[in-house]
């Protein structure tokens, strides 16, 4: 009769259960999904897109024309200087920090529904873009990012020749 | 002081039922009791300054912010938030000075300052040695 040992926590691969392990798990899942879907959909589940644990993500709208991709993000109450917009490969990264005005006044909130602190969102772009032709504008709490598609990716009509 | 805030909080979610536009949203709101005044901070991104109404009537402070329609040319690949007017109302206690309510708007955030009546403002009493 052979005894089957219980799997220890260490051997189960899920030891810890802390944020670091979760982050590793998410990173691994991101890697899996990125490899699995060669062209990720713009709206993958939100937890695939957050880059750091504990951060909040702004809501976005995404649209495209033949030559441009436009991203509109709701970021109320943020100083434009505290927003970073960058393009890396086929991803647009919007990150920054929303500072609470309680830090200035020293008072506490008795009721809080808004997000404060660091935010980050990586948005998979449907097509490759020209990193040199990206503009970002912040107006009335809304960030508008316009990206120009890379020339190679813009659609081109191919004439069909006859002999 | 605590009683008044509790009252404000408990009724903060009571938005008016009637709406002029088909889409009306209840903005996220932070409330801060700063002693001499109560701050109501509402996220209303996209609203224009001239489209914001803050009114006080029968003990109810109401905010209505009109948001212009979005102009995104091309085809949409996804929308995570709707676009419409913001509405929310708050019932205030009797210890606020309605005539001194002020509001500022910056970066998509409306801050309403609701001062307390001078008679009910917290006051520190100095203790002197006898």
How would residue A144 be classed by pLDDT, with cut points 50, 70 and 90? very high
Does ipTM surpass 0.95 in this model?
Answer: no
B2-69+83-120 adopts what CATH topology? Immunoglobulin-like (2.60.40)
Q: Is B109 exposed, middle or buried (0-12, 13-18, 19+ CB in 10 A)?
A: buried
Q: Which pLDDT score, from 0 to 100, does residue B81 have?
A: 77
- The nearest alpha carbon in chain A to B46 belongs to A140
**Positive or negative torsion for Cα A70, A73, A79, A84:** negative
CA–CA gap between residue A142 and residue B23 (Å, rounded) = 19
What percent of chain A is predicted at pLDDT more than 70?
61
Best B80, B88, B104 member to test A by mutation, with max A CBs in 10 Å, is B80
Nearest-neighbour CA in chain B from A18: distance (Å): 30
Residues of A within an 8 Å Cβ radius of B: 42-43, 59-66, 68, 70, 72, 74-80, 101-102, 105, 107-114, 126, 138, 140-142
pLDDT value, residue B19: 41
Domain annotation covers residue A105: no
Q: How much is the pLDDT for B80?
A: 82
Task: Decide if A124 contacts A91 (C-beta within 8 A).
Answer: yes
- What integer pLDDT is reported at residue A73 of this predicted model? 92
Collect all residues with Cβ–Cβ distance below 8 Å to B59 and sequence separation of at least 6.
B91, B92, B94
Region A133-140 average pLDDT: 92
Question: What is the Cα–Cα distance from B49 to B105, expressed in whole angstroms?
Answer: 7
Contacts of B33 (CB under 8 A, 6+ apart): A107, A110, B1, B5
Size of interface A-B (CB pairs under 8 A): 111
For the purposes of burial, counting CB atoms within 10 Å of the CB of A128, is it exposed (0-12), middle (13-18) or buried (19 or more)? middle
pLDDT score for B88: 94
- What confidence score (pLDDT) does residue B118 get? 83
Name which residue leads in pLDDT, B9 or A26. Answer: A26
Give mean pLDDT, residues A84-108: 78
Express each pLDDT in A56-65 by its tens digit.
Answer: 888 888 888 8
Contacts of B45 in chain A (CB under 8 A): 74-76, 140-142
Number of structural domains in chain A: 1
Tell me the shortest Cα–Cα distance from B46 to chain A, in angstroms.
5
Tell me, yes or no, whether A5 lies in a domain: no
The pLDDT, as a whole number, for residue A32 is 62
CATH number of the domain encompassing residue A69? 2.60.40.790
Contact A155, A84 (CB under 8 A): no
List the domain range (segments joined by +) for residue A22.
16-100+113-153
- Does A161 fall in a domain? no
Lowest mean pLDDT among A22-36, A58-72, A121-135, B99-113: A22-36
Q: Are A105 and B48 inside 8 Å of each other by CB?
A: no
pLDDT class of B90 with cuts at 50, 70, 90: very high
> Band of the pLDDT at B89, cuts 50, 70, 90?
very high
Partners of residue A70 on adjacent β-strands: A63, A146
Cα distances (angstroms) measured from residue B130 to each of A57, A152, B124: 59, 87, 18
pLDDT of A11 higher than 60: no
Q: Which of B28, B41, B72 sits opposite A70 (nearest CB)?
A: B72
Q: For the residues B95-121, what does the mean pLDDT come to?
A: 91
Closest chain A residue to B37, measured at CA: A107
Reported confidence tier of residue B34, pLDDT bands at 50, 70, 90: confident
Task: Report pLDDT for A108.
Answer: 66
pLDDT beyond 70 at B58 = yes
B108·A141 Cβ contact <8 A: yes
| Distance in angstroms (rounded) separating the CA atoms of residues B54 and B105 | 11
The per-residue pLDDT for range A118-135, each reduced to its tens digit, is: 888 888 888 888 888 899
Q: Which one-letter DSSP state was computed for residue A66?
A: S
pLDDT at residue A52 in the model: 62
């Amino acid at each position: 009769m052979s005894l089957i040992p219980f799997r220890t926590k260490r051997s189960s691969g899920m030891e810890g259960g802390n944020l670091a392990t979760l982050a590793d798990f998410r990173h691994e899942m991101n890697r899996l999904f990125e490899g699995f879907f060669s062209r990720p959909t713009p709206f993958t589940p939100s937890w695939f897109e957050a880059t750091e644990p504990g951060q909040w993500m702004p809501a976005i709208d995404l649209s495209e024309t033949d030559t441009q991709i436009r991203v509109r993000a709701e970021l109320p109450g943020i100083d434009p200087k505290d927003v970073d917009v960058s393009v890396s490969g086929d991803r647009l990264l919007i990150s920054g920090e929303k500072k609470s005005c309680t830090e200035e006044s020293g008072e506490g909130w008795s009721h809080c529904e808004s997000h404060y602190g660091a935010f980050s969102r990586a948005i998979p772009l449907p097509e490759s873009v020209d990193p040199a032709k990206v503009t970002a504008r912040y107006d009335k709490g809304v960030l508008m990012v316009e990206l120009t598609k890379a020339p190679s990716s813009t659609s081109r009509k191919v004439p069909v020749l006859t002999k | 002081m605590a009683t008044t805030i509790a009252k404000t909080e408990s009724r903060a979610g009571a938005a008016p039922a009637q709406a002029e536009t088909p889409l009306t949203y209840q903005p996220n709101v932070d409330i801060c009791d700063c002693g001499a005044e109560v701050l109501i901070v509402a996220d209303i991104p996209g609203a224009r300054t001239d489209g914001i109404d803050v009114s006080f009537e029968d003990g109810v402070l109401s905010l209505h912010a009109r948001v212009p329609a979005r102009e995104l040319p091309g085809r949409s690949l996804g929308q995570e938030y709707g676009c419409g007017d913001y509405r929310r109302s708050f019932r205030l206690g009797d210890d606020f000075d309605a005539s001194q309510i002020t509001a500022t708007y910056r970066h998509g955030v409306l801050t309403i300052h609701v001062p307390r009546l001078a008679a009910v403002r917290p006051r520190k009493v100095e203790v002197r040695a006898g």
